[in-house]
Amino acid sequence: MDKVLEIIERKLLPPLTKLAELRHLQAVRDGIISTMPMIMIGSFFVLLVQFPIPAWKSLIAPISTELMFPYRITVGMMAIYASYGMGSILAKSYGLDRTSGGVISLGAFLMTVLPQIATSEATGSSLGFVIPMTYLGGSGMFTAILCMIFSVEVLRFCKTHNITIRMPEQVPPAVSRSFEAIIPGMIVITVVWFVSAILKINVNEVLMGLFSPLVAIAGNTYLGVIIPVLLITILWSAGIHGVSVIGSVIRPIWLVLLEQNITAVANGQVAPNIGTEGFFDLFVWIGGSGGTLALCILFLFAKSSYLKEIGKLSIVPGIFNINEPIIFGAPIVVNPLLAIPFILGPAITTTITYIAMKFELVAKVSVVAPFAIPAPIKAFISTGGDWRGIVLVLINFAISLLIYWPFVKAYDKKMLAEEQLTNSETFDIVNGIE
């Protein structure tokens, strides 16, 4: 195991660390995370409408359409919020005006979804120009990312080469910045308009076609769920924040899968995708990456005073899915005795969870719950009120306990011996014994 960690540290970490530091990936990661409150709100309204109690569904049936409006405006438009958030963050990383970066990115994305003249089905009257919502949600996320990169890079190019409208110093800064964005904004909007309206290329359809194989693999194959788990736990074992690195790359796909699940449930159908981000957060990362809540509990019963203290310090954060205290306190990082179960346990619970969802023994994730909610409660909420989700969490937690137990026992014995030796040497020094 030491040799494996050494190889990872020398060969794998440098390129992955550089990947995680790419400003464009950081913008994607942080921009998408900024949409989470809206997605949580929308998915909870879906749960409200589709909660699996017949009497409740009958009660709200007269207003079910109205109850779904928050879902349409939040989850149904997540790519809009993400395009602004990502553009704003990338512009800030370059030292540009973040509002201009966000607005131009948003305008470019909306230009890929051309307005159409529509007629009301209810009244038959014309609604004028409307924007179709098909690609405003998760399906448009890849386009939003592309538009964000193009828009901010044009903004940066124009700023660097002074291709901008400069206002006198007496003009308020906010007004001056808005004029500076006119030329780059004109370039971006014109280019995207030409592609979408003149060349009649549906950028959203093209990108979804290109990424659909990846979405299918990530969403419904065993490799799609086990590979991220192995990469995340291996990176953490070597001291790199695995979720931050891997999530930056794969989170847009997770978001597309989640939006498809929420939309299916909102339409009264079964959620189609297994490998959403909630799959990992709920059933694999019980207590945080590596399923470390089990480790926190085992440390409470350790004979080593150090491990017992670490258990006491990490148990409460672990219950709420925060595990940095145990990861760096134990430590798990570059510690073969704990790194082995840290990698092995999640691999096994991932396999069990995948089988359970593949054979529909447990409902797939269709609701986004706050990160800090304890796992069993969060699983019940996020699977649309499926009590079997609670059972699966408890089974996976028990398995994590069993896997960690022999390694903790060995580690506890080692730490206790070191403590006894230290205490003995201290006693000898105090009493002048050579």
For the chain, 434 residues long, the average pLDDT of each consecutive 10-residue run is: 60 64 84 86 85 82 87 90 95 92 95 87 78 87 93 94 80 77 94 95 89 82 92 83 78 88 88 91 91 94 91 90 86 85 95 95 89 86 91 96 93 88 54 51
Say if residue 97 is in the same domain as residue 137.
yes
Note whether residue 247 is domain-resident: yes
- For the chain, the domain total comes to 2
Range of the domain at 285: 227-430
Note whether residue 320 is domain-resident: yes
CA nearest to 73, candidates 46, 49, 52 = 46
Say if residue 141 is in the same domain as residue 240.
no
Say if residue 58 is in the same domain as residue 117.
yes
pLDDT digits (tens, 9 = 90+) for 153-204: 999 999 999 888 877 776 777 777 788 889 999 999 999 999 999 999 999 8
Contact 195, 203 (CB under 8 A): yes
Note whether residue 218 is domain-resident: no
Burial 390-407 (b: 16+ CB within 10 A, else e): bebbeebbebbbebbeeb
Which of 184, 201, 218 terminates a domain? The answer is 201
Which of 183, 201, 219 terminates a domain? The answer is 201
Say if residue 189 is in the same domain as residue 235.
no
CA nearest to 205, candidates 317, 82, 328, 113 = 113
Give the global pTM.
Answer: 0.79
